[in-house]
Amino acid sequence: MDICYTVKEVRTKINEWKKQGLTVGFVPTMGYLHEGHKSLMEAARAHNDKVAVSIFVNPMQFGPSEDLKTYPRDFNRDIKLCESVGVDLIFHPEPSEMYDDNFCSYVDMNGLTAELCGKSRPGHFRGVQTVVLKLFNIVKPDRAYFGQKDAQQLAVIKRMVADLNADVEIIGCPIIREADGLAKSSRNTYLSKDERAAALILSKSLDLGKKLIEQGETDAKKVIEAISNNIKTEPLARIDYVSAVDFNTIKPVDKIGKSVLIAIAVYIGKTRLIDNFITD
């Protein structure tokens, strides 16, 4: 497995592979890898000749009062996880390698970023889109893998790729959960024992919403209300949002039909967690 710290090193390796006609699957990450990332790497491993993973805590996607400084990092552990899946290349740049002193170009979007995390975290998706397009330009993958846990991110990246004709296929992969239902996230590590127990309210409340829909409820307001009321029964939880939007456009819906994203963001103590499901 190659570990590259510069754009030049990555390009040299990728160009070698491309000359041999090999396909490249890419998993962009911010490190502190868990089973969720592993499932993306396994999907990339299964469908491509070579697998590249980036590990970069992207400063541009964090707001001024967010957790950039404390975001968990463990590069040595990440290396082992990548090796265990048969990853061929890790790109682990310093921020200065990605953003030089004169950096001033950004990728932004109208529409899909107006709701959900885009509303709560202004500038977040501009940072995500900018770094992801840069990474695509550096790695030139045939396919790139994103988790459905960040469903709005997945929709935004798909839209960006279509709008800007980026030559890469975007593959969405299912949410990976702990045995008790909590969606895997690097930020779960912030939770105390009590908060970890309280965090189950996210998946439990979504399950309740899912059940209502399965029983025939199509009124988005009623589903949102039921989910919200259930979250409020947990004293350590504070709702950021509970929303029902079209998965492709991220526009709020009144009626729940196919491809509706039911998404929640909830603070458990100081930790902001997200989770969701998409209707069939």
Residues assigned a catalytic role: 37
Rounded CA separation 107/109 (Å):
7
Q: Which is nearer to ligand PAF, 61 or 203 (CB)?
A: 61
Residues 57, 29: Cα–Cα separation, whole Å = 8
- Binds ligand PAF by CB under 6 A, chosen from 128, 206, 237, 264: 128
Could you say whether residue 24 binds ligand PAF (CB under 6 A)? no
Spatial separation of the C-alpha atoms in residues 5 and 2, rounded to whole Å: 10
Nearest CB to ligand PAF, comparing residues 126 and 222: 126
Q: Looking at 1-9, 67-75, 78-86, 127-135, which segment touches ligand PAF (CB under 6 A)?
A: 127-135
Range in contact with ligand PAF (rule: CB under 6 A) among 88-96, 125-133, 189-197, 225-233? 125-133
CA-nearest of 176, 208, 175, 179 to 196 is 179
The SS3 assignment for 242 reads strand
Contacting residue, 13, 29, 188, 205, with ligand PAF by CB under 6 A: 29
Read off the tokens for 171: 């593959």
Nearest by Cα to 60 from 90, 34, 96, 91: 96
Residue 61 is a binding residue for ligand PAF (CB under 6 A): yes
125: part of which helix (H) or strand (E)? Answer: helix 124-139
CB of residue 258 vs ligand PAF: minimum separation in angstroms? 26
Whichever of 128 and 265 has its CB closer to ligand PAF, that residue is 128
Least Cβ distance, residue 84 to ligand PAF (angstroms): 19
| 205 belongs to the binding site for ligand PAF (CB under 6 A) | no
Taking the complex as a whole, how short is the minimal distance between the CB of residue 150 and ligand PAF, in angstroms? 5
Please say which residue, 159 or 237, places its beta carbon nearer to ligand PAF. Answer: 159
Residue with Cβ nearer ligand PAF (55 or 202): 55
Could you give the CA distance from residue 141 to residue 26 in angstroms, rounded to a whole number? 6
Q: Does 58 bind ligand PAF (CB under 6 A)?
A: yes
Instruction: Establish if 48 lies at the interface with ligand PAF (CB under 6 A).
Output: no
CB atoms within 10 A of CB 270: 10
The verdict on 150 binding ligand PAF (CB under 6 A) reads: yes
Contact between 176 and ligand PAF by CB under 6 A: the answer reads: no
- The answer to whether residues 203 and 211 touch, using CB atoms and an 8 Å cutoff, is no
Alpha helices in 32-150 (DSSP H): 35-47, 75-85, 95-98, 116-120, 124-139
The residue among 61 and 279 lying less far from ligand PAF, judged by its C-beta, is 61
Which position among 33, 43, 51, 131 is part of the footprint of ligand PAF (CB under 6 A)? Answer: 131
| Number of amino acids touching ligand PAF (CB under 6 A) | 10
How far apart are the C-alpha atoms of 137 and 227, rounded to whole Å? 40
Query: Cβ of residue 31: shortest distance to ligand PAF, in angstroms?
Result: 8
Contacts of 114 (CB under 8 A, 6+ apart): 250
279 CB-near residues (< 8 Å, 6+ apart): 213, 256, 257, 258, 259, 260, 262
Q: Which amino acid is at 33?
A: L
Q: What are phi and psi of 71, to 5 degrees?
A: -55, 130
- Residues of this chain that interact with ligand PAF (CB under 6 A) are 28-30, 58, 61, 128, 131-132, 150, 153
